[in-house]
Amino acid sequence: MKVKRSEMWRAGVLLLFTGCVCASVPEEPADRTSPSDGYCSWITRAQPHGAGGRRESTSEFRLRVEGDPEHYQPGSTYRVTLYATNPAYFRGFTLIALKEGHNGDQEEDYAGNFQIIDEEDTQFMTSCPPAVTESTPRRRTRIQVFWTAPPSGHGCVLLKASIVQRKIISFQDEGSLTKRMCEKESLYGETTDKPLLDCCACGTAKYRVTFYGNWSEKLHPKDYPRRANHWSALIGASHSKNYILWEYGGYASEGVKQVAELGSPVKMEEEIRQKGDEVLTVIKMKAQWPAWQPLNVRAAPSAEFSVDRTRHLMSFLTMLGPSPDWNVGLSSEDLCTRECGWVQKVVQDLIPWDAGTDSGVSYESPNKSTAPQEKIRPLTSLDHPQSPFYDPEGGAITPVARLVVERIARKGEQCNIVPDNVDDIVADIAQEEKEEDDTPETCIYSNWSPWSACSSSTCEKGKRMRQRMLKAQLDLSVPCPHTQDFEPCIGPGCSDEDSSTCMMSEWITWSPCSVSCGSGLRSRERYVKQFPDDGFACTHPTEETEPCTVNEECSSSSCLVTEWGEWDACSATCGLGMKRRERMVKMPPSDGSICGAEVVEVEKCMMPECHTIPCLLSPWSDWSDCSVTCGKGTRVRQRMLKSAVELGECNEDLEQMEKCMLPECPMDCIMSEWSEWSECSKSCGKGHLLRTRMITLEPQFGGDPCPEVTQRKTCKIKKCNQGAGNNDERKRRKEDRKKRRNKQAGEETADELAGCKMKSWSGWTDCTKLCGGGIQERLMTAKKRFKNAQLTSCKDRKEIRACNVHPC
């Protein structure tokens, strides 16, 4: 049987889900791995060899499952890391997963599945397919793989590890190279938290989240609240794994409680914004009244948000109302992929969950606070016969909403840590970003310039640029796209196509500091992926070292302690008592002396004065109904004094009041007062008068619509003269003839009236409204009055007309 060179000397890290003693040794010849030896059992029966023989102390090597869980969720994936503390290192490893109590004789003895992260570092063993080993024998300080837990019913497992350092096999049945995990039991049948892996994606991604409410009388007919069904304002965020808005099995914060009971997102948004850099984007959508309408009547609400490497989780919640404390939402949805990219699309059907703060069982149950507060849990069809989701056969609840999260853009340099050359990187990006030329025909460009040199002079990733010029834009209404283009690249001599120079791998992550207290060193390594064809040696460095500091204040005689814990409850329920708090010693003094730091602190506490007899009170009554039928109001609860008044005065409150909030009240349209009537539009005959008013407040929440904003009525001043006219008219004509005879006709205008000379009409003023009916005015004033002019004939004139009468 032919075996790879790397397997001829391999020592391994054995991840064994078993209690047996296991080690990996230099691979045996083909006759030692025959079927008669059992399925991979030669590994579990092998004994350690080497110049140093067996070593039980392996404190410089550690095996870790990310998050250090004591339990595993069936079917979930975990990142497993084996690392050496500086200056230790190892050269080879092997990974195997076995069920507890089995020795690996059969294929069924193995639990879960491994996934390769870096093919340059790890591979599956040829002679034992479930095992993972090194790809190339070389000096290393860390390896990582993914392990997917087996289905439910496999019980506890043991993660065991052994390594080879030069020719010495380090092996250990227990301690730092052994990790025990047992299957996690589900609570209420809910989906437990997914393991939150560190995101390795580069740049940022922008998403659009759309909420489709399917909670309708057709799909959920039982007790459907026709009067006030709605979705509250949606509130959420994109955030890091250090912040949790809500989660199954956790307790609702005050912000979650206010969303769940009142539909108010104000406190929740305040809590989110207080998290500072742990949050990247606050996600908000408006409330929906009613809860469901066809999409051709009302578009589904949506919002946009961004994620990056540290804040790659998305959570939100919204209340379905009316309800006791029922919501739908997502908790810590991870948008970063294991391949160091961004998720393209997430579609999630949502069922309601209970916030654990109100004990109501139906949509319109009276308020009844849950004391003590319970954990958040999903509703089920067997919760209570009065529940609108009740099903005596225990069937699944029909989803009440669907959430769609779609990636709409990516910004910054995108990366993928699995590919190791520029061709793989470009191919990874090209899968999601089409390179079609979308240049409009109306934009005339020059040809692209040649690509610039790569911004990276090493084998680290960089980018290069090319440019073009916009020569003409034939249609100004059509925007022309960018004139610069970028693509990822790596430095010269790093491409597989350039075989005349060295090609180096990426740097491995920095090792832990060489000391646990004070100043030390840390290092990182890389290796030669390809030597030059001309036979020359590579001169690029393969190892780097830099100083590091751990707790500058520590010394050989000092010790490290944790932060103080929370204070315990007061030992007395009334009067004077005591309370205490503790902290732990993280690291004792290195010189072996006793840690002198205080680890327990005690202080006095004062509770309300004890009233054993004078204040014998009944329990609080239920909260009353809200004092209003809509909007903000108050509610009260009361209790009775049971003890006799003669025993003394009781100062305890017998009534409590708190604020409450119901759906917003309808607000009718509010109008201003009518303006004065305008002058008649005609100086004789029939005309019309106008008056207008303004909309002060638009109707809201279903209030009455706005009435008319313009009114008009007819007016009649006097009959217009049809014949020779009266004396004034004859006098005016006589004066006109006189003026013409005196050759003054050129100096007068048609705007003259009897006895005066008028200026021309002014221009029309701007309309008082853009729509809904406004008015315009223009004026004519007297320029000159003659001595014989009557007062009424030289009066200033004003005309008014309607404008912008189209509806808004």
Q: What is the per-residue pLDDT for 548?
A: 84
What would the DSSP string read from start to end of 560-595?
Answer: EEPPP-PPPPPS-SSSEEEEEEE--EEE--TTSPPP
Cα 114 off chain centre by: 30
Tokens of 299: 């578009």
pLDDT of residue 303: 93
- CA distances (Å), 796 to each of 287, 719, 751, 757, 787, in order? 56, 21, 12, 11, 17
Helices (H), 692-794: 727-741
pLDDT at 115: 79
Asked if residues 322 and 297 have their Cβ atoms less than 8 Å apart, the reply is: no
pTM for the complete prediction?
0.35
Q: What is the C-alpha R_g of the chain?
A: 41
Residues in CB range of 102: below 8 A, 6 or more apart: 18, 109
For residue 282, the model assigns a pLDDT of 94
With beta carbons less than 8 A apart as the criterion, state whether 678 and 775 touch.
yes
Q: Is the pLDDT of residue 520 over 80?
A: no
Which has more pLDDT, 767 or 806? 767
Write out the two tokens for 361: 């069982």
Average pLDDT score over residue span 233-256: 94
pLDDT tier for residue 645 given thresholds of 50, 70 and 90: low
- The 3-class secondary structure across 628-679, one letter per residue, is CCCCEEEEEEECCECCCHHHCCCCCCCEEEEEEECCCCCECCEECCCCCCCC
Instruction: Give residue 576's identity as a one-letter amino acid code.
Output: L
- How many degrees, rounded to 5, is the angle at CA 147 between CA 146 and CA 152? 150
What pLDDT is recorded for position 98?
76
pLDDT, tens digit, 9 for 90 and up, residues 13-57: 344 433 333 433 333 333 333 434 556 766 655 444 443 444 444
Kindly report whether the peptide bond that precedes residue 322 is cis, defined as omega within 30 degrees of 0: yes
Query: Which of 243-252, 456-465, 534-543 holds the top average pLDDT?
Result: 243-252
DSSP-derived pairing of the beta strands 142-148 and 484-490: unpaired
Contact 230, 290 (CB under 8 A): yes
* Per-residue confidence band for 325, with pLDDT thresholds at 50, 70 and 90: very high
Mean pLDDT of 84-93: 78
Q: Give the pLDDT confidence score for residue 253 in this predicted structure.
A: 95
Q: What domains lie within the chain, and their CATH numbers?
A: 61-183 (2.60.40.4060), 204-411 (2.60.40.2130)
Per-residue confidence (pLDDT) for residue 595, from 0 to 100: 73
- Mean of pLDDT over the chain: 76
Question: Which residue type sits at 513?
Answer: C
pLDDT: which is higher, 535 or 686:
686
Q: Supply the pLDDT for residue 791.
A: 55
- Tens digits of per-residue pLDDT, 163-193? 776 655 655 555 677 777 888 764 434 443 4
Would you state the pLDDT for residue 646? 59
Instruction: State what percent of residues in the chain have pLDDT above 90.
Output: 18
pLDDT of residue 323: 93
- Give the pair of three-digit tokens for residue 100: 């507890």
Residue-level length of the chain:
808
Residues in Cβ contact with 644 at an 8 Å cutoff, skipping those fewer than 6 apart: none
With pLDDT > 70 as the criterion, what percentage of the chain qualifies?
74
pLDDT of residue 667: 85
In order of 666, 735, 737, 752, 759, the CA distances from 745 in angstroms are 67, 11, 9, 11, 16
Rounded-to-integer distance, Cα 240 and Cα 279, Å: 7
Residues with Cβ within 8 Å of 37's Cβ and at least 6 positions away in sequence, in order, are: none
